[in-house]
Structure 1
Amino acid sequence: MTDKIAYVAVENALLHFDNAFSYRIPEGMPVQAGCRVAMPFGRGDSKRQGIVLGLGEEDADDLKTVSELLDDEPVLNDEMLKMCSFIKSHCFCTYYDAVKAMLPAGINYRLSLEYSVSADLGDRFYDLSDEYRRIVTIIRSKNNKVEKHHLLQELGYADSSLLDQMEAEGILFKNDAALRRIGDKTIKMIRLSDDAETLLQGMKLSAKQESVIDLLSTVGSASVKEVCYYTGVTTSVPDTLVRKNIAVYYDDEVFRVPRSSVSDKREITLTEEQQKAYDELSTLYHSDKPEVSLLYGITGSGKTSVFFKLIEQASNDGKDVILMVPEIALTPQMIAMFRAHFGDKVAVFHSALSLGERLDEYKRVSRGIAKIAVGTRSAIFAPFQNLGLIIMDEEQEHTYKSESKPRFNTKELAKFRCSYHKALLLFSSATPSVETYYYANEGRYHKHVLTRRYGTATLPDVVIADMNEEIEVGNTGVFSNILLQNIEENLDNGKQSILLLNRRGYNSYVTCNSCREPLTCPNCSISLTYHSANNRMMCHYCGYSVPYRTECPTCHSHSLRLRGTGTQRAEVEIAQIFPQARILRMDTDTTMTRSSHEKKLTAFANGEYDILVGTQMVAKGLDFPNVTLVGVLNADHMLYLDDYRSYENTFSLLTQVVGRSGRGKDKGRAIIQTYTPENPIIALAARQDYDAFYNAEIGIRKAMLYPPFASICMVGFVGENAKQTEGAAFAFTKQMTQLLQTEFTDIPLRVLGPSQAAVFKVSNKYRFKLILKCRNDSRFREMLARMLVQFSSNREFGNVTVYADMDPLSL
């Protein structure tokens, strides 16, 4: 006889035994694919939770049984379950790693051990010892249900031996419980009971009771708060009606909707060039097959207006839309614009939301209340059922790539979802990634070009300031003379300025003038950064900090000196030069609090500040018509990093930040400060000449076999012992080489390394890397997955973590 079977992916499964495990479904339990369940797992039958990947029927005599159904309805639909398998195979992670990435954190369950008092205790309570009675009293005071760790904490116990003894004596009962991290938000409602009309006949009521009944007879139901407000009664009146069975209370779910500003609703009129791009995109959108397009236009050309019209078209057709931006800083302006037009149809997805807000936005989408998701990369998991359009604004940005497991590339997930729904995927940028532009030129993507700024605006005039010449005339400060002159002119004319410095902190590093040694973090192989706000030297990797001191820890001389410049120092120095200026700083230090991005950007947009100093979060996508000057304080910072994307990233950042200037009716200017003015990337960014940059870069990529001509995969090794970690890296390489020479001889592969990672030590763990230039196809992924599974079960290197990262952000 066959039984109903659930194929379950188990939470916290190790990579080498991450499979779909078969469990028998108890009679009458309505388990569906996509639901979460609790069940015994492993030799000790410890309780675990898992996700049901599918259902079947087979002989279940030797199978364990599902203990508990955690969801009334599936949390993952058919598409999401398929995407779970896609992420597992493409990102080399477990099923549950993928599940956790897709679901909002607030919906997650945690399994916990709870104690309650036995119902049979009765009068035996009075025969118990004082300590036993104390424990029983505490548990009963907590609704007879207390989590183990909370109970131990309140009792002051180090372990549960006494509690276990009470369980053995039948005084306490121990049970596994699944607790959801965030509960649903509800409001207390009241309505008349089904028997109200009969009960009211001949019943004498007070005037206040009659007023409540009259209101409920008219509106049907209302919140208790509303009833009290409109009738002027206290809660005791509806309480009395409920006790008399004339009315009943019930809970109604309400959503925690993130607060955001709403801009003025304005009609968008497309230029002839924009209309042409829209018409082409509209045709692709209606093609009823998956399509990928690039909307490529200079900064200020009105790309947002084009895809707004496209979203409007999809909304009118009843289709769902995902719009992604790379930074939280860009979401307030975008959300304000879209909520002005689409109201509550817009849901918001980004990490600054509370857990409750993230959960409720997810539910609004899954229930069809919201039809447009706007947010950062997490918006790709919005559980829409009828996707028609996905847009990735500033598609070249590194924030679309996850750096923690599962290490997914949002572009690949967007392609997967558009393929499933036969939807249009639109990339938008003034500086598209080299790979995207290559595919558009080769015809793999469609391309639509905007060459002119919207309205009467023109590209800003750009000046390259040679900081070597500034030093020669005695200027050793952060700001060139020409930049200071332009800032002063802007202040006199009531115009605003943006200053970019892609380093936070006051000084970027601290060195000793005597022994020349930099001060580094004891946990990481990285320099400490000085922060003036708290007078501490801090590590931006592990969070270590120490008070600033003048004594060198190496040679003990008092010759420590602060070097380099961060946003804090730039803010202080510009305030000293222009004390009348109102200055706003934006970096991760000043935007850690809730809604800080929106508040600061709104204040700057309202003209409350004259100068905005910030890191790259101020460089992209922002539209302030009164900004007529942009200053780049150190254009060389990213240019000479040991990474094949350093030129591309520098060109993109400079082009984007220069494009923030002159977007209104006034002509814009930009000053780029550099110590290497002869570098062609600086000159190309100043001219905003993307095509010239691309033509030079694509030749280098082809010669060096970098994307788009090959895929890059980095295999990382992390461990507390440097020698053992290095040994693991070399052993992995040796085993992989043997596998390539026997079973996978058909795979084209170039192997670089292993070698130390760029930052060798982080949080007292040593890091090595192996770089693979490969073709990212199923055959390569099969080989690498097998290697990872075999190596993760190797006890010799059990203390070393091994992972694979396709398309890593840096090498």
Structure 2
Amino acid sequence: MSRYVEVILPLALDRTYTYAIEDEQLQVGCRVEVSFGRHKRYTALVTKVHDEKPDYDIKSIENSIDTEPIVDVVHMQFWLWIAQYYMSTIGEVMKAALPSALLLENQTIMRLKNPDWRTQSQLDEKSYLLCEALEKTELSLGDIAQFLEVKNPIKIASKLIEQNLIERKDIVVDKYKVKFEEFVGLTDEKELTSYLEMVHRAPAQRSLLMSFFQLRRDADQIPVKSLLKVAGTSRTILKQLVKKNIFYIEEIEKSRILFDDRAAEFLFELTQDQRLAYDKILLAFAQKRNALFQAVSGSGKSVVYMQLAEHFLQRKKHVLILTPELSLSAELFSRFVKRFPNQCLLYNSKRSSSELVEIWKTINASDEAFIVIGTRSSVFLPFKNLGLVVVDEEHEQSYKQQDPSPRYHARDAALYLSKMLNASALLGTATPSFDVFWKANRKDETQNKFAKVSLDVSYSRRPRTGIYLVDLKSAYKKKQMQGVFSRELLSKVDEVLANGNQVLFFQNRKGYASFMQCNSCGHSPECPNCDVKLTFYQHRQALMCHYCGFEEGIKRSCSVCKSDQIDYKGIGVEQIQMQLKELYPDHTIERFDRSSSSRKDSGMKIIEAFNSNEIHMLVGTQVLSRGIDFLNVGLVAVINVDQLLFNQDYRAHEWAFQRLIQLAGRAGRSDSVEGNAMLYAQSFDTHHPVLQWAVDYNLNAITSSELNERIQFQYPPHVKIIRIQTKSKNFETNLRAAQYLVAAYKRIPGINVLGPQAPAVSRIRNWYLQNIIIKIHKERNLLDLRKQLKRMENSFNAIGTFQGVRLAYHIDHI
């Protein structure tokens, strides 16, 4: 009897597709290889196995990939929730959830079809060379492009296909490769005496054999690499012993997940304050409530996390700890692995695709409990027995995926996942997002989404970092500036360095300068693909676009008027580093930003070098504020705090306050800091209320002010917001499409519609953009509204005038 499966494809498709199967053992959650479209093959995921034959012709699957499911039904339901809530497709969720190496890659190869191709007299040189190469082997399009030194090999290949000389073949390539390691062992333990006699007159072979005995201890086999290294000999000598049948070599599958065999370190006792917070958190969990853990910087928040992790590990439950940033996940992992050396896994984009697959398979198949520390995609791991989810630094905007779809918020997704799996959830931060703060402080406790737990004293009971505002207007007026630094700030830097402490400099601008400008004609180089000026990078001697990656070398003269009067506008971290090196030539000054920490482990190496006092001053962007444990910082300097305040978003003041408090928390974290640690913030408006609230650490005052404004102007948490972005290659078409949609949306009851309005950067990668804001009243049914918006999108897509216009939905947008 024929059977059928419903499958998800890793494409922007919002439905499943039916295929016939012969494999009676195929289960829901297994991968299969399917043909879809004219030529393409994809990895699909089985969501249903049934006997209902469709009333149309269907294809059979090409291959079964798995014998056991890699995703269970519960996690598929989680995927479906992500797709529905964030208005994406289930195929896009699948592509985001699975490590890329689990999605077998479609590859087009070309092979020779007509062996008499040389009889064709009309072949040009490149076509002739290609046919000649295909006589020897099949080639992928990438191979052909490299071989012929052309950018578009399709044109050449298509012409030869039309002439019936070559043909295309689509294959699926498995990107995950099992890792093997060579081990060496004795062929026969009983022949030791005989073996020694055989190498008696071969000193190198005898030395290698003796090294084997020295290394192996109780093991039957040892790694070939280790043996050759200890013996100090070559592989040739080893081969000679294999040829004599003394040794055999065997390849054994090796896990890429390297657990540490050392004993647990970092054993600790919680302080009285930490123990009280820990007990309150467990009480909230016992009451089936999630918790907001509001802990001041330096209070030992991560130590409480460790104690909670141990509590759940003892009960054979997995623990997931989400972090907002790569360097923070690596730094937190380095601390946890000392306490739990055999139970910690790091899951982020710096791991290789094969490493991510092995972590996925370990979580899916193992009965052991693990702690997984990772960035937002960790929320998709197939936990079977999840006990605790911790969202560290829950206020960070980087938890929200912007592009591509699904545009999910990892914090909110983690809360939903914990509810589905009956796990506990903890949101940790020193500066809660105002939405979460509001939910945790409702007067009616029955409406409270979270139990609030506070930890208000630092581990060392040091006074909190003082925040001091430097008046730039006065400094410029009195000519008390050296570059971008006031003399008041530099005097404090001198004092801190003299005490043997370190300094952090914060400037939220990448590169050397925001843009270059000709002082003769005013021209500034712009990105050809985006509506932005190009950022100048000194270390690369290049102008770059942060939106599309366009890069060009700098020119010493203006491309318009040929003048050499070129000026740099806007101060970036490279320029601050350069000015500091001129002021402090005897000190080591490094940068900590996206470009300096882009390579694997490079961010962690910078942190380690800084904490070991190899670096005296560190200049960085917002990554500096994200919960990293700097041990010897006596001063944090914010070069221009006003840049944080003037942002178009309604949460600009919230984000500025959070950033300042978080930056202040990087200083004074240990007893090695002399005196009271300080944050100096340079500003042209030192009386700004947000800055004054930050000086006083007055979270209640700023939340009260901001939340009252949000009630007045209808912003979250009092309403829901959806931002719908239209984009098209044609400006006029995109604008008309956005205007059409606004008119249609305004007919929907229970919502307010704003726009359309072009964003600050109105063209990216040659796509013109328009934003539409929908504010949703509390009484409006959200699921019904999403369905209505999707129906309207389907009608919109059928309008010929708007062909080529794309819509992107940003739910709870940031």
Normalising by structure 2, we get a TM-score of 0.86
Residue in structure 2 matching 1:38, options 20, 33, 51: 33
| Alpha-carbon distance between aligned partners in 2 of 1:481 and 1:262, rounded to the nearest angstrom | 50
Name the CA shift for 1:125/1:222 in 2 (closer, same or farther; >3 Å). farther
Name the CA shift for 1:192/1:520 in 2 (closer, same or farther; >3 Å). same
Residue in structure 1 matching 2:812, options 782, 807, 810: 807
Which residue of 1 is the match for residue 97 of structure 2? Answer: 102
Measured after TM superposition, the shift of residue 695 of structure 1 is 1.4
Residue in structure 2 matching 1:452, options 457, 468, 475: 457
Which residue of 1 is the match for residue 324 of structure 2? Answer: 326
Which residue of 1 is the match for residue 432 of structure 2? Answer: 432
Q: What RMSD over aligned residues (CA atoms) do the two structures have, in Å?
A: 3.8
| Alpha-carbon distance between aligned partners in 1 of 2:171 and 2:67, rounded to the nearest angstrom | 16
Map residues 486-525 of structure 1 onto 2, 5 A cutoff.
486-513=492-519, 518-525=524-531
Q: Counterpart of 1:525 in structure 2: which amino acid? A: D
Which residue of 2 is the match for residue 483 of structure 1? Answer: 489
Residue in structure 2 matching 1:24, options 7, 10, 20: 20
| Alpha-carbon distance between aligned partners in 1 of 2:261 and 2:241, rounded to the nearest angstrom | 38
2:337 matches 1:339: yes
Task: Note if contact 1:192-1:216 (Cα within 8 Å) is conserved in structure 2.
Answer: no
Name the CA shift for 1:751/1:546 in 2 (closer, same or farther; >3 Å). same
| Alpha-carbon distance between aligned partners in 1 of 2:644 and 2:577, rounded to the nearest angstrom | 21
Task: Note if contact 2:504-2:618 (Cα within 8 Å) is conserved in structure 1.
Answer: yes
Name the CA shift for 1:117/1:559 in 2 (closer, same or farther; >3 Å). closer
Which residue of 2 is the match for residue 714 of structure 1? Answer: 723
2:785 matches 1:755: no
Which residue of 2 is the match for residue 59 of structure 1? Answer: 53
Which residue of 2 is the match for residue 441 of structure 1? Answer: 441
Residues 515-556 of structure 1, C-alpha deviation per residue, up to 9 Å, x if partnerless? 556543333222332222244333222233444456555666
Q: Counterpart of 2:375 in structure 1: which amino acid? A: T
Which residue of 2 is the match for residue 266 of structure 1? Answer: 266
SS in 1 for 2:489: helix
Measured after TM superposition, the shift of residue 335 of structure 1 is 1.2
Task: Note if contact 2:9-2:44 (Cα within 8 Å) is conserved in structure 1.
Answer: yes
Which residue of 2 is the match for residue 183 of structure 1? Answer: 177
Which residue of 2 is the match for residue 282 of structure 1? Answer: 282
Name the CA shift for 1:795/1:345 in 2 (closer, same or farther; >3 Å). farther
Which residue of 1 is the match for residue 669 of structure 2? Answer: 663
Residues 474-513 of structure 1, C-alpha deviation per residue, up to 9 Å, x if partnerless? 1343111211001001121211111111112222233444
| Alpha-carbon distance between aligned partners in 2 of 1:777 and 1:652, rounded to the nearest angstrom | 30
Task: Note if contact 1:715-1:771 (Cα within 8 Å) is conserved in structure 2.
Answer: yes
Measured after TM superposition, the shift of residue 115 of structure 1 is 5.9
SS in 2 for 1:757: coil
Which residue of 2 is the match for residue 527 of structure 1? Answer: 533
Which residue of 1 is the match for residue 360 of structure 2? Answer: 362
Map residues 689-708 of structure 1 onto 2, 5 A cutoff.
689-708=698-717
Residues 748-796 of structure 1, C-alpha deviation per residue, up to 9 Å, x if partnerless? 2110011112211122221101111125721122122223343345443
2:113 matches 1:84: no
Task: Note if contact 1:262-1:337 (Cα within 8 Å) is conserved in structure 2.
Answer: no
Task: Note if contact 1:3-1:58 (Cα within 8 Å) is conserved in structure 2.
Answer: no
2:734 matches 1:732: no
| Alpha-carbon distance between aligned partners in 1 of 2:225 and 2:591, rounded to the nearest angstrom | 42
| Alpha-carbon distance between aligned partners in 1 of 2:108 and 2:369, rounded to the nearest angstrom | 37
Task: Note if contact 1:373-1:382 (Cα within 8 Å) is conserved in structure 2.
Answer: no
Q: Counterpart of 1:398 in structure 2: which amino acid? A: Q
Runs of 5+ in structure 2 lacking a partner?
200-204, 443-447
Measured after TM superposition, the shift of residue 640 of structure 1 is 1.1
Q: Counterpart of 1:79 in structure 2: which amino acid? A: V
SS in 1 for 2:449: coil
- How many pairs does the alignment contain? 776
| Alpha-carbon distance between aligned partners in 1 of 2:133 and 2:218, rounded to the nearest angstrom | 47
Q: Counterpart of 2:411 in structure 1: which amino acid? A: K
Name the CA shift for 1:4/1:431 in 2 (closer, same or farther; >3 Å). same
- 328-337 vs 669-678, which moves further: 328-337
2:604 matches 1:602: no
Map residues 66-81 of structure 1 onto 2, 5 A cutoff.
66-81=61-76
| Alpha-carbon distance between aligned partners in 2 of 1:219 and 1:550, rounded to the nearest angstrom | 66
Residue in structure 2 matching 1:300, options 276, 298, 302: 298
Task: Note if contact 1:395-1:427 (Cα within 8 Å) is conserved in structure 2.
Answer: yes
Task: Note if contact 1:260-1:336 (Cα within 8 Å) is conserved in structure 2.
Answer: no
Name the CA shift for 1:535/1:229 in 2 (closer, same or farther; >3 Å). closer
Residues 308-356 of structure 1, C-alpha deviation per residue, up to 9 Å, x if partnerless? 2101111222110111111222123311111111113111112222333
Map residues 376-391 of structure 1 onto 2, 5 A cutoff.
376-391=375-390
Identity rate of aligned residues, in percent?
Answer: 27
| Alpha-carbon distance between aligned partners in 2 of 1:126 and 1:548, rounded to the nearest angstrom | 49
Residues 384-428 of structure 1, C-alpha deviation per residue, up to 9 Å, x if partnerless? 211101111110001101011111110222022211221111101
| Alpha-carbon distance between aligned partners in 2 of 1:726 and 1:85, rounded to the nearest angstrom | 32
Name the CA shift for 1:137/1:239 in 2 (closer, same or farther; >3 Å). farther
| Alpha-carbon distance between aligned partners in 2 of 1:451 and 1:325, rounded to the nearest angstrom | 22
Task: Note if contact 1:466-1:676 (Cα within 8 Å) is conserved in structure 2.
Answer: yes
SS in 2 for 1:59: coil
SS in 2 for 1:808: coil
Map residues 549-560 of structure 1 onto 2, 5 A cutoff.
549=555, 551-552=557-558, 559-560=565-566
2:768 matches 1:769: no
Name the CA shift for 1:207/1:370 in 2 (closer, same or farther; >3 Å). farther
| Alpha-carbon distance between aligned partners in 2 of 1:595 and 1:676, rounded to the nearest angstrom | 39
Q: Counterpart of 2:62 in structure 1: which amino acid? A: S
Name the CA shift for 1:465/1:148 in 2 (closer, same or farther; >3 Å). closer
Residues 431-461 of structure 1, C-alpha deviation per residue, up to 9 Å, x if partnerless? 1100111111122111101121222311122
SS in 2 for 1:712: strand
SS in 2 for 1:28: coil
Which residue of 1 is the match for residue 311 of structure 2? Answer: 313
2:625 matches 1:619: yes
Name the CA shift for 1:274/1:220 in 2 (closer, same or farther; >3 Å). same
| Alpha-carbon distance between aligned partners in 2 of 1:188 and 1:308, rounded to the nearest angstrom | 37
- 683-692 vs 464-473, which moves further: 683-692
Q: Counterpart of 1:463 in structure 2: which amino acid? A: Y
Residue in structure 1 matching 2:143, options 143, 150, 155: 150
Measured after TM superposition, the shift of residue 805 of structure 1 is 0.9
Q: Counterpart of 1:292 in structure 2: which amino acid? A: N
SS in 2 for 1:343: coil
Which residue of 2 is the match for residue 12 of structure 1? Answer: 11
| Alpha-carbon distance between aligned partners in 1 of 2:148 and 2:81, rounded to the nearest angstrom | 47
| Alpha-carbon distance between aligned partners in 2 of 1:133 and 1:407, rounded to the nearest angstrom | 48
Which residue of 2 is the match for residue 256 of structure 1? Answer: 256
Measured after TM superposition, the shift of residue 798 of structure 1 is 2.2
Q: Counterpart of 2:409 in structure 1: which amino acid? A: N
Task: Note if contact 2:261-2:342 (Cα within 8 Å) is conserved in structure 1.
Answer: no
Which residue of 1 is the match for residue 654 of structure 2? Answer: 648
Name the CA shift for 1:794/1:347 in 2 (closer, same or farther; >3 Å). farther
Map residues 524-603 of structure 1 onto 2, 5 A cutoff.
524-549=530-555, 551-552=557-558, 559-603=565-609
Residue in structure 2 matching 1:234, options 213, 234, 238: 238
Name the CA shift for 1:545/1:391 in 2 (closer, same or farther; >3 Å). same
| Alpha-carbon distance between aligned partners in 2 of 1:720 and 1:140, rounded to the nearest angstrom | 43
Task: Note if contact 2:727-2:767 (Cα within 8 Å) is conserved in structure 1.
Answer: yes
SS in 1 for 2:759: strand
Task: Note if contact 1:3-1:60 (Cα within 8 Å) is conserved in structure 2.
Answer: no
Normalising by structure 1, we get a TM-score of 0.87
Measured after TM superposition, the shift of residue 127 of structure 1 is 12
Runs of 5+ in structure 1 lacking a partner?
none
SS in 2 for 1:561: strand
Measured after TM superposition, the shift of residue 182 of structure 1 is 3.2
| Alpha-carbon distance between aligned partners in 2 of 1:520 and 1:161, rounded to the nearest angstrom | 37
Q: Counterpart of 2:543 in structure 1: which amino acid? A: M
| Alpha-carbon distance between aligned partners in 2 of 1:133 and 1:758, rounded to the nearest angstrom | 51
Task: Note if contact 1:258-1:357 (Cα within 8 Å) is conserved in structure 2.
Answer: no
- 531-540 vs 326-335, which moves further: 531-540
